[in-house]
A = this chain, B = another copy of it.
Amino acid sequence: MREVSVIGVGMIPFAKYREKTLAEIGWPAVKAAIEDAGVDKKDIEAAYCGSALGGMMSGQRVLKQLGITGLPITNVENACSSSSSAFRQAYIAVAAGVYDVVLVLGVEKLTKFGGGTLPLEKEDFEVTHGLVMPALYGMRARRYMHDYGLTKEQLASVAVKAHKHGAKNEDAQYRNEVTLEEVMNAREIADPFTLLHCCPSGDGASAVVIASAEKARQFTTKPVRVACSEVNSGKYMTGFRDMTTPEITVRGAKQAYEEAAIGPDDVDVAEVHDAFTIAELLYYEALGFCGKGEAARLLEDGETSIGGRIPVNPSGGLLSKGHPIGATGTAQIVEIVRQLRGLAGNRQVDGAKVGLTHCTGGGISGFDHGACSIHMFSV
């Protein structure tokens, strides 16, 4: 397997683009990534597109707008891990020598599908009984509060940090800073969550160009190395007695660190799947950034803020940057690449050399058919 590098990234600001089609929100992100990579569109040998709800031929629809046709285009769906799973397929194909230059995009338009249009099957008994995502994570939060003494204020401060970071990101959906009081007093969604504990709904697109390390040298003097690529499925929880340990992430992180020969202490910056405030805290622990029960302290000590030991979600994360499902995986990679290139502007993590992205999706309906992807990058 050959070494693989990211040579270009691009995205559009996440927002609600009610009047635009999926193709219309997708192509500018792709164009930006191609221009950033300095490749000609004819150099792209294959494309992988992640979208959870985009409908048939999402990638073809987007790429047609730019005249990028004739190449193998493959659409990948893995719920929130859609474009990160697409990235893994692209990575395998380049590492294997099948292609030299591959485009990965993520695109999603939730303003069209929003409002619960997904059909429920009879095996979706949890959802039928009310166990939608905010309720599920709300119970995890309550359990964590019980087990580890987490306070509502500490939990709310995850959102404060997210918005503080997101306010510095031109591509974030919500660029306003919020106070602890605003988070605490926002409309209640599912105890202990108010609206600001939950990631917003929106539309977005992001794209990444990868190449074999050898080919990358033709296009850039600043390639970002893909240090590992892991996607797996499995249980969110280790069992009904430990609902605060996301097994799928713990297992994925172990595999990723082994594959990359990089440990959690070596990670300089991370984008993790903070769909809800509690999620970010659980992932600090699952990814090994701190021990079990220590997440709140890590946050309070400012260790996961820009300027801290291991800044998490400098982009604003899902809570502030937004979460157009299929676009999130590659958007995380966009942020980490910007950080490792030192081009993250006023949210730059100084001296970042190793970055990690973590995206996990699904997980309702039996708790055990989620997908989790972890990628690491280095310069």
Contact = CB atoms under 8 A, between A and B. Distances in A.
A374 to B, nearest CB: 11
A342 to B, nearest CB: 32
A368 interface: yes
Interface in A77-94: 77-79, 85, 88-89, 92-93
A21 interface: yes
A98 interface: yes
A169 interface: no
Interface stretch (A33-41, A231-239, A314-322): A231-239
B118 A69 contact: no
Nearest to A48: B89
A143 B98 CA distance: 39
Contact of A72 (B58, B118, B233): B233
Interface string A1-23: 10000000000000000000111
Measured as residues with beta carbon below 8 angstroms from the partner, the interface class of chain A is 35 or more
A57 B93 contact: no
A368 B122 CA distance: 38
A232 B72 contact: yes
Contacts of A132: none
Nearest to A89: B89
Interface in A217-238: 230-235
Nearest to A80: B56
Contacts of A123: 21, 23, 61
B69 A231 contact: no
A116 interface: no
A115 interface: no
One complex includes copies of this chain to the number of 2
A57 B119 contact: no
A112 interface: yes
A232 B71 contact: yes
A121 B23 contact: yes
Contact of A231 (B22, B74, B369, B370): B74
Contacts of A57: 77-79, 361-362, 369, 371
Contacts of A72: 88, 230-233
A90 to B, nearest CB: 10
A96 B92 contact: yes
A251 B369 CA distance: 38
A265 to B, nearest CB: 26
Interface string A299-336: 00000000000000000000000000000000000000
Interface string A103-124: 0000000001000001101110
Contacts of A88: 72, 74
Contacts of A58: 77
28 contacts: A21-B121, A22-B121, A53-B56, A55-B118, A56-B362, A57-B79, A58-B77, A60-B233, A60-B370, A60-B371, A61-B121, A63-B369, A64-B369, A70-B234, A70-B235, A70-B251, A72-B233, A73-B233, A73-B371, A74-B88, A74-B231, A75-B85, A77-B77, A92-B92, A95-B96, A96-B96, A96-B98, A112-B119
Closest A-B pairs by Cβ, 8 of them: A96-B96, A60-B369, A75-B77, A21-B121, A70-B234, A73-B233, A72-B231, A64-B369
Interface of A: 1, 21-23, 52-53, 55-58, 60-61, 63-64, 69-79, 85, 88-89, 92-93, 95-98, 112, 118-119, 121-123, 230-235, 251, 361-362, 365-366, 368-371
